Structure 1
Amino acid sequence: MITEKNETTISLQKQYDVSYLVQQERKNIFFPIIFFINIVLSFWYVLKVRPKYIISTGAGAVIPFCIFGKILGSKLIFIESFAKVQTPTITGRVLYRFADKFYVQWEELLSVYEKAEFKGRLY
């Protein structure tokens, strides 16, 4: 499992094999540096793990990981955020082009993502 390191995800390492990306916020003055670190970490993790499938619900930190995975042959399944009802996330807009399967949790977003599927809400 690859995820951002934060208070919510720290406890996952007790149950799962977890590798962490640095949590990034676009408004943080150090965002460019943190994003670069995440690009390097993502490249390393993809080479190390060689995932057959990548399933993501986003946050921008995963964009490089997903793209590197696609380049190396991973299938990408993206689930757009439950919090976005009518407008897409930045991560969704970027990864829509790369995703093998793209799911939205609100029917309203089908007008934004023509190839997306709505199967109901996941959480």
Structure 2
Amino acid sequence: MKICFAASSGGHLEQLLMLTPMMNKYDSFVLTEKTNYEMNKKGLDIVKVPQVNRREKTFIFKFLLLSIQTLFIFLKEKPDVVISTGALATVPMCTIAKVFRKKVIFIESFSKISSPTVTGKLMYKIADQFIVQWEDMIKHYPKAIYGGGIY
């Protein structure tokens, strides 16, 4: 089984890196954004995609290019499961995985205590398993699993 661990840079990636023991246990790779954000690679296979900002005028064009690049990564890597902590840069990988009937597990951000994220609202509709880190978030995602914090 091959697992894609997907997260945008910064806090989303830091949360995802809490799963490094799982990353080391399985054939896996990390999909994240090309940014100046420094991360401790810990011997992980890292694949980087362009950063996209939904507030930019060129968003649609950049998101389309991101989606095409992500499709090529998906076809090359052939993950069986995608585990994501968000945000926008991970939407194409999760969506493509779902189209190819692979499992998608989404972990809503630890920083969201009382309201859902934009990515969470999108992923809730397609994720095979949706995990929240705060019990109060169940009211926004009734079918979610409360998993507690991954920190």
> TM exceeds 0.5?
yes
Alignment deviations for residues 35-66 of structure 1 (CA, whole Å, 9 cap, x no partner)? 11111111111111110110000011111110
Is residue 63 of structure 2 the alignment partner of residue 44 of structure 1? no
Higher relative contact order structure (alpha carbons within 8 Å, sequence separation ≥ 6): 2
CA deviations on 1:50-93 (whole Å, 9 max, x unpaired) are 10110000011111110111111211110001111111111111
**Percent pairwise identity:** 38
TM-score, normalised to structure 1, is 0.89
4+ runs deviating over 4 angstroms? none
How many residue pairs were aligned? 122
**What does residue 2 of structure 1 align with?**
31
Q: Tell me if 1:91 matches 2:119.
A: yes
Take 2:150 and 2:54, find their aligned partners in 1: how far apart are those partners? 26
Letter in 1 for 2:35: N
User: Partner residue of 1:57?
Assistant: 85
| Cα distance in structure 2, aligned partners of 1:106 and 1:7 | 30
When the two chains are superposed, the root-mean-square deviation of aligned CA atoms in Å is 1.6
Unaligned runs of 5+ in 2: 1-29
Q: Tell me how far 1:20 sits from its aligned partner.
A: 1.1
Normalised by the length of structure 2, the TM-score is 0.74
Unaligned runs of 5+ in 1: none
CA distance in 1, matches of 2:52, 2:106: 19
